[in-house]
A and B are shown apart, each in its own frame.
Chain A
Amino acid sequence: MSMLSVNGPSASASVRCYARLALAGFHRAAAYWKASVAGLISNTTFALIRAEILLVAVAPSGGIAGYDEGRIVAYAWVSQGLYSVVLLWGDGELSKKVRTGDVAIDVSRPWNLQGALLAIDLGRAAFAVITRLAPPIAIGALFFSFRFPERTAAWPLFAVSAVLAVVISFTLRFILELTTFWLMDVKGVTQLYSVVAGTLSGLTIPLAFFPHWAQEILWLTPFPAVLQFPVDIFIERGEAGEILLQQAIWAAGLTLFAQFLYGRAQRKLVIQGG
């Protein structure tokens, strides 16, 4: 089954289609706004506790690994908020559809499934920026010595980095869910992923606090690009250009790999009946 058939939609029509899907993703997230409020309470609780623990470590020593008081506070609140934007692990909807066979309908639609789901996820992420990222930053700034970026340029750079982080996180989730085509029960694997992905991407403590050997291994994985990198750009730590380049390489490489895997998965799919 080809995703781009000969008499398929024109380029501008398909751009419009994906834009509409993104909008639909935003609206769907907005429809569950009460869940967002509850989630925000959770983000705020953890950011608050995390900020105080890290602050009490950093404050007396005057700074750890380039983190001063303002930066560690910003790290705690931004990372907790961003965690819900990039969504390290979702509800495993695709995986469920593969198991039940419902995926056949999505696969036969005249779209690129990966592109369509990415568009929906970007829409969801945009809503999460408003409800899950902005409020924790505001609360952190209100009650703590929160450090905002000093250079104005850091804001657009942070936005680009966050978008790339969503793309990378989405693609990792997509790849993991695709494995359902080969292993019917991925619950154990996905649960393990959802547990370790947080710590490996810098949600528990800044990755710079890890021992050097662990950091060197982590830089070879996509995990820092999902959370730590955008946070680094926000707190102006490290070279922004270099960070964005690394994220772009991860986003492109993983996207291509996922497309390849998706192509293989489609060959596994047998649709019966008519």
Chain B
Amino acid sequence: MAERIAVWLVILRSRIRSQTQYRTSFSLNLLSAGLSQGTELVAIVCLFAQVDALGGFDRSEVLTIYALSSTAFGICEFFGGSLNMLPTYIRTGTFDILMMRPLSVLGQLLTSEVQLHRAGRAVVGVLMLGYVVGATGVPMTGQNILLLLITPLAGALVIGAVWLVSSSMSFWLIKGEEVTVSVTYGTNLLTSYPMTVFSAPVRVVFSCIVPAAFVAYYPALALVDRPDPLGAPEYFAWSGPVVAGVSLAVAAGVWRWGIHQYKGVGS
């Protein structure tokens, strides 16, 4: 076991060192990652310059949801962003090489492209989280602090599970990238806003298939001390870890099924 961990550490260290060699590119990429998350922040701020409420929620409440969602998505992208490479690996045959090595395939995939600049999104999220907590006066009770700590982690796992399932589509579809992108980045967009913004059909699709509301919406309700206008029970705010566990179990099943029936692209 100790030997295995040592192997992973060597792999990780080499990946990280290779990126810090090109400093200009690295800082530009970090900036891009931050800006791509900041895009939605610009939209929210501009919208609230025109209106007082969005789906019954004011500016600071929406920003709380946005901040929680951004942090969760940022953490998830930082650790799981390499999943985006899966379709390419399958198409080019690199995936077959990963399968031959005596290491976990998923582990190799996750460490294949550790990109430090992906932290840009999480940085934006954490900064916003600090801002909303300070500016809107979320009371710093032990309960709220605990909620602020576990929500982004549980959210990252929920999004990670969604990402894993949508990436597994590549085992069946040859050109599945855009479907994966729309599911993962679509989830990012959707979880940044209150659920009340969306019509019933969209809510049903996105909260049954993807447990999006647990990523940021329910915990944010507890933080700003409001009941859900849509009538969800209060304990939903704390259900993140359970939802994450169930989602991951489902995702792991889909992943294993995909690998099991994967035959290779042949060469």
Give residues in A with beta carbon < 8 Å to B: 32, 34-35, 38-39, 41-42, 45-46, 48-50, 52-54, 56-57, 60-61, 64-65, 185, 187-189, 191-192, 194-196, 198-199, 204-205, 209-211
Interface stretch, picked from B32-40, B73-81, B222-230, is B32-40
Is the Cβ of B39 less than 8 Å from the Cβ of A211?
no
B-chain residues with CB within 8 Å of residue A49 when the two chains form the complex: 186, 189-190, 198, 202
Is the Cβ of A57 less than 8 Å from the Cβ of B54?
yes
Closest Cβ of chain B: how far from A54's Cβ, in Å?
8
In the assembly, what is the distance between CA of A211 and CA of B35, in Å?
A: 18
A46 in contact with B35 given A52-B197, A191-B29 (CB within 8 Å): no
B177 at the interface (CB under 8 A from A): yes
Is the Cβ of B193 less than 8 Å from the Cβ of A53?
yes
A187 in contact with B51 given A45-B186, A52-B198 (CB within 8 Å): no
Q: How many residues of B contact A (CB 8 A)?
A: 42
Contact string against A for B residues 95-129, beta-carbon threshold 8 Å, 1 for contact and 0 otherwise: 00000000000000000000000000000000000
B42 at the interface (CB under 8 A from A): yes
In the assembly, what is the distance between CA of A41 and CA of B24, in Å?
A: 35
From B24, B40, B51, give the contact of A64 (CB < 8 A): B51
A38 in contact with B175 given A52-B199, A56-B55, A57-B54 (CB within 8 Å): yes
Is the Cβ of A209 less than 8 Å from the Cβ of B32?
no
CB-defined A-B contacts under 8 Å, sample of 25: A34-B174, A38-B176, A38-B177, A38-B178, A42-B179, A42-B182, A42-B186, A49-B189, A49-B198, A56-B55, A57-B47, A57-B50, A57-B51, A61-B50, A185-B22, A188-B25, A191-B32, A194-B32, A195-B35, A195-B36, A199-B39, A204-B39, A205-B47, A209-B49, A209-B50
In the assembly, what is the distance between CA of A191 and CA of B32, in Å?
A: 7
Contact string against A for B residues 194-231, beta-carbon threshold 8 Å, 1 for contact and 0 otherwise: 00111100100000000000000000000000000000
Which among B28, B176, B183 has the greatest number of chain A C-beta atoms within 10 A? B28
Closest Cβ of chain B: how far from A274's Cβ, in Å?
34
Is the Cβ of B189 less than 8 Å from the Cβ of A192?
no
B-chain residues with CB within 8 Å of residue A192 when the two chains form the complex: 28, 31-32, 35
From B43, B55, B175, B182, give the contact of A45 (CB < 8 A): B182
Is the Cβ of B47 less than 8 Å from the Cβ of A209?
yes
9 new A-B contacts at CB < 8 Å, known A52-B202, A195-B35: A32-B175, A34-B174, A38-B177, A49-B202, A192-B35, A195-B39, A199-B39, A209-B46, A210-B46
A-chain residues with CB within 8 Å of residue B11 when the two chains form the complex: none
Closest Cβ of chain A: how far from B247's Cβ, in Å?
19
Closest Cβ of chain B: how far from A68's Cβ, in Å?
13
In the assembly, what is the distance between CA of A39 and CA of B182, in Å?
A: 8
B16 at the interface (CB under 8 A from A): no
A-chain residues with CB within 8 Å of residue B182 when the two chains form the complex: 41-42, 45-46
B-chain residues with CB within 8 Å of residue A61 when the two chains form the complex: 50-51
Is the Cβ of B32 less than 8 Å from the Cβ of A188?
yes
B-chain residues with CB within 8 Å of residue A57 when the two chains form the complex: 47, 50-51, 54
In the assembly, what is the distance between CA of A191 and CA of B31, in Å?
A: 10
Closest Cβ of chain B: how far from A34's Cβ, in Å?
5
A-chain residues with CB within 8 Å of residue B178 when the two chains form the complex: 35, 38-39, 41-42
In the assembly, what is the distance between CA of A50 and CA of B193, in Å?
A: 11
In the assembly, what is the distance between CA of A56 and CA of B35, in Å?
A: 25
Which among A39, A50, A56 has the greatest number of chain B C-beta atoms within 10 A? A56
B-chain residues with CB within 8 Å of residue A46 when the two chains form the complex: 182, 186, 189
